[in-house]
Structure 1
Amino acid sequence: MFTQQIDEVIALKLKEYQDSKKVFELIDASRDQLQQWMTWVDEVQSPDDVDKVTRRQLLQFVKKEAMHFVVLYNGEVAGDISLKEINWSIKSAEIGYWLGSAYTGKGIMTRAVRSILDYAFDELGLHKVEIWAAEENVKSRRIPERLGFVQEGTRRDDELIGGKYITMVIYGLLEDEWHRETDE
């Protein structure tokens, strides 16, 4: 299936059914960390649950609504990144991502997001990309901040996770801002 090598250790691979077991194992090993920020974690209790999600994601790919990738680090599944909510009429999309606990703090996701941004702006011709991150998820928020995104606002108490309301911070990046950032 489609694989994009980012550098000597990181690659993105279009998610497929063969990844379900490894993705499930990574989610299960990182469950405590992921449950703080992701509403879907409790629904994933087996590789079959990952298969169901993958089926939905592959249909989104066929309909040109989203692209979902596994992040590979030294050939191992390290996480997930998506270009989703693609709106072709206004040429916008959102990036979502997560990493397994063992892979955080290595700059992996920043490089993966950078690669997705290049693809979104240069290949797909998008005008704007957003990233939404939980206000308290400092590690996740550092990625758009590092890559030149503008904080556009917040959605207060936007998600309910573990009985606690989570405020989401919305970051946006325009195509010309990205090219200005990468040309410097």
Structure 2
Amino acid sequence: MKRLPERTETTRLLLRQLTPADEPAMGASLRDSADHISPWLPWMANEPISRADRRELMSTWEQEWRDGGDAIFGIFLEDEHIGNVGLHRRGPTDSLEIGYWLHAGHTGRGYMTEAGSAMTTLAFTQPGIERVAIHHDRANAASGAVPRRLGFILAREVTKPIDAPGEEGVEYQWEVSRDAWAARAAAT
């Protein structure tokens, strides 16, 4: 994967590569939203982590992005960090998966749909990417609303081990093809 741009803007949001300097803001967002996102994100079982460990993790993310790998972007509303969104190589070589979480105080306003749209468009700037996916547990209705609003199709349901306390163990796997995304963009 070629390196994604360091930042992109939507109508209301700035999405940009996180750096260790963002640790205080991201750490605060995670602490404020722990009860909201812990049921769905297995890595939240390790929270809270130290500031030094989070900065080290963010340095790793930054290096992966510089090397053309996964990209983890902070979502900023004006100057406030309100979540993260990433593009991950977790599936077939012609596909990227979007992962995300949003601060509990900023849900229900379309921010994640806006960020997901921008990340889908960015994903299709990558050579050889023909599909973008979003996966979530069936019980996580809020996460499922995002791909539905973006025009992704529910491609499959997969039984998987339960990794987080709110999960049912059925993963919904949504996809959109390059052609379908282009057609949707042309229609708007």
> TM-score by structure 2 length?
0.88
| Whole-Å separation in 2 of the counterparts to 1:63 and 1:82 | 15
- Say which of 160, 171, 174 aligns to 2:174: 171
Q: Is it true that 1:68 corresponds to 2:75 in the alignment?
A: no
Take 2:64 and 2:158, find their aligned partners in 1: how far apart are those partners? 26
Return 100-109 or 124-133, whichever deviates more. 124-133
Structure 2 distance, partners of 1:160, 1:138, is 17
5 Å matches for 1:10-159? 10-45=13-48, 46-85=50-89, 90-121=93-124, 123-125=125-127, 126-159=129-162
Q: SS of the counterpart of 2:41?
A: coil
SS in 2 for 1:40: helix
Unmatched segments (≥5 aa) in structure 2: none
In structure 2, the CA distance between the partners of 1:180 and 1:164, relative to structure 1 (3 Å rule), is closer
Q: Runs of 5+ in structure 1 lacking a partner?
A: none
Give me the whole-angstrom Cα distance separating, in 2, the residues matched to 1:132 and 1:69.
18
Shift of residue 48 of structure 1?
2.5
Q: State the shift of 1:150 in Å.
A: 1.2
Contact 1:66 1:86 in 2 (8 A): no
Structure with larger RCO (C-alpha < 8 A, sep 6+)? 2
- Using the alignment, how far apart are the partners of 2:39 and 2:64 within structure 1? 26
Structure richer in strand, relative to its length: 1
CA distance in 1, matches of 2:66, 2:23: 19
Aligned residues: 181
TM-align CA RMSD: 2.0
The verdict on how the C-alpha distance between 1:100 and 1:64 changes in structure 2, with shifts beyond 3 A counting, is same
Kept in 1, the 8 Å contact 2:140–2:167? The answer is no
Structure 1 residue 117, shift from structure 2 partner: 1.1
SS of 2:68's partner is coil
Asked if the contact 1:95–1:130 (Cα under 8 Å) also holds between the matched residues in 2, the reply is yes
1:21, 1:136 → 2: CA distance?
31
TM-score, scaled to structure 1: 0.90
Instruction: Give the deviation of 1:42 after TM superposition.
Output: 2.4
| Matched residue SS, 2:160 | strand
Deviations 1:128-175 (A, max 9, x none): 111001101111101101111111112213332238653211011110
Alignment check: 8 A CA contact 1:153 1:169 kept: yes
